[in-house]
Amino acid sequence: MISGATRVFGLIGHPVARSLSPAMHNRWFQETGFDGVYVTFDVAPDRSTAIRGALDTLNISGANVTVPHKSTLIDRLDSSTAMAQGVGAVNVVVRDGARWIGHNVDGAGFCSGFEAEFGALHGRRVAVMGVGGAGRAVAAACALYGAERLGLFTRDVSRAADFRERASSLWPTARWDVASVDEPLAGFDIVIWASSLAAPALDLGRCGPDVIACDLNYWDASSALLGAARHQGVRTQDGLPMLVHQGALSYELFTGLRVDPAPVLASFL
């Protein structure tokens, strides 16, 4: 039962009405007996600078952060983890007294969800389409999980080159490449659409025979990328595993409690 002592958590972004995060976190609150509630906060893009003050004023305990605020909020926090600093974006903020700590578990959520279905990322060659907050986080986490090569495909090649320079020093075990999103894909084991824009159909014929196509936009049931990939006989994964696995990591940061993502993921399928 919600009371005056119930701790409030939420999702900050725009738009957020279709998010599955409230159902996921509120289920975990109920299952673990934690006195919390999770809601959505739809914050327009031009209100990013007001988020930190609102968190303080309303005594929010923690929040997930999604587009378009992942990269703008990080500079208004008191500290952030090495991963968040490296990718320049946060997707979780947690109150520590009067201080706010930023985390980024987007990439770890993707990798955990991917490996649960397809096995280890170690030694694989990964193409990431889009270098926004989610794309950078996923690429960095894939490097930490042992990917051999990271191809960053984007329309803003200079922006990607700046990230490659930072990433290759922070995560040097992988080879980092940058290319225009219009260039053909060749020689990759995994292709990940990481842009918030709808994924187009891509020709995966020049990738390996065991290539796997992923679209992080879990709400796009008619993803052109995944539809075309299946037509080409390619295995696919939508964004639901990433959502739930990063949610479980977020929940642990919020509460200190670990939860199993598998039952929630199964309920969403």
| Preceding amide of 261 cis, omega within 30 | no
Neighbours of 103 (CB within 10 A): 22
Specify the residue for token string 């696995």: 245
Q: What DSSP state is assigned to residue 116?
A: H
Structure tokens at 70: 């992942």
As a whole number of Å, the end-to-end CA separation of the chain is 28
- Candidates 25, 38, 62, 70; catalytic one: 70
Q: Are 159 and 131 in contact (CB under 8 A)?
A: yes
- Among 85, 53, 55, 54, CA closest to 70: 85
Q: Residue 268: what residue type?
A: F
CA dihedral 47, 192, 17, 69 (to 10 degrees): -10
Q: What DSSP state is assigned to residue 132?
A: S
Please list the helix, strand and coil fractions of the chain in percent, rounded to the nearest 5, in that order.
40, 20, 40
Q: Residue 167: what residue type?
A: A
In angstroms, rounded to a whole number, what is the distance separating the alpha carbons of residues 28 and 260?
9
Cα distances (Å, whole numbers) of residue 95 to 98, 199, 235, 268? 7, 35, 40, 29
193 is catalytic: no
Write out the catalytic residue numbers: 70
